């Protein structure tokens, strides 16, 4: 017999455990640590995707608010309209609700136009405020 086989037979016969692998406890602990790491990574991905959607909604809402504020700034019929107005806009397939408030300041000859944009469930997502100087004629 070769020397390696003799040594192996000797180890098996004496019960010496110099040639052992991982125990079941070590394997279970390794799987547990791996599962915790996978769960943390999954939670991170979920939170990131929620944040991306919220940031996208806020970005679009702020664009709507700025666009509506600029439209109100350049048109002249806002003086005859009511102090408060509301409506709906669809931007890139997403519905938004907007509100416009006018505040006049006679001593300063200006009109404050504030636009607020909300989601469908009423969360404030964006707003814009502009001032227009009004000259007496």
pLDDT at 63 over 90: yes
Q: pLDDT tens digits, residue range 87-129?
A: 898 888 889 999 998 887 766 778 888 999 999 988 999 999 9
The answer to which of 45-49, 61-65, 103-107, 119-123 has the lowest mean pLDDT is 103-107
Q: How confident is the model at residue 39, as a pLDDT?
A: 96
**Residue where the block lists tokens 């006679």:** 106
**Beta carbons within 8 Å of 104's beta carbon, 6+ residues apart:** 110, 111, 112
pLDDT > 90 fraction of the chain, expressed in percent and rounded:
42
Alpha carbon 28 to its chain centroid, in Å, reads 36
**Is residue 58 very low, low, confident or very high in pLDDT (cuts 50, 70, 90)?**
very high
- List the domains of the chain with CATH numbers: 21-133 (3.30.1300.30)
The whole-model pTM stands at: 0.63
What pairing do the DSSP bridges indicate for beta strands 110-118 and 124-133?
antiparallel
Q: How confident is the model at residue 103, as a pLDDT?
A: 83
């Amino acid at each position: 017999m070769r020397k390696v086989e003799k040594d192996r037979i000797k180890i098996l016969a004496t019960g010496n455990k110099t040639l052992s692998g991982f125990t079941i406890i070590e394997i279970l602990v390794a799987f547990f640590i791996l599962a915790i790491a996978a769960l943390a990574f999954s939670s991170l991905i979920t939170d990131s995707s929620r944040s991306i959607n919220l940031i996208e909604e806020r970005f679009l809402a702020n664009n709507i608010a700025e666009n509506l504020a600029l439209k109100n700034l350049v048109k002249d019929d806002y003086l005859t309209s009511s102090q408060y107005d509301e409506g709906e806009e669809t931007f890139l397939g997403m519905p938004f609700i907007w509100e416009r408030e006018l505040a006049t300041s006679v001593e300063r000859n200006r009109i404050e136009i504030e636009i607020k944009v909300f989601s469908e469930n009423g969360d404030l997502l964006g707003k814009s405020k502009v001032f227009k100087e009004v000259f007496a004629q």
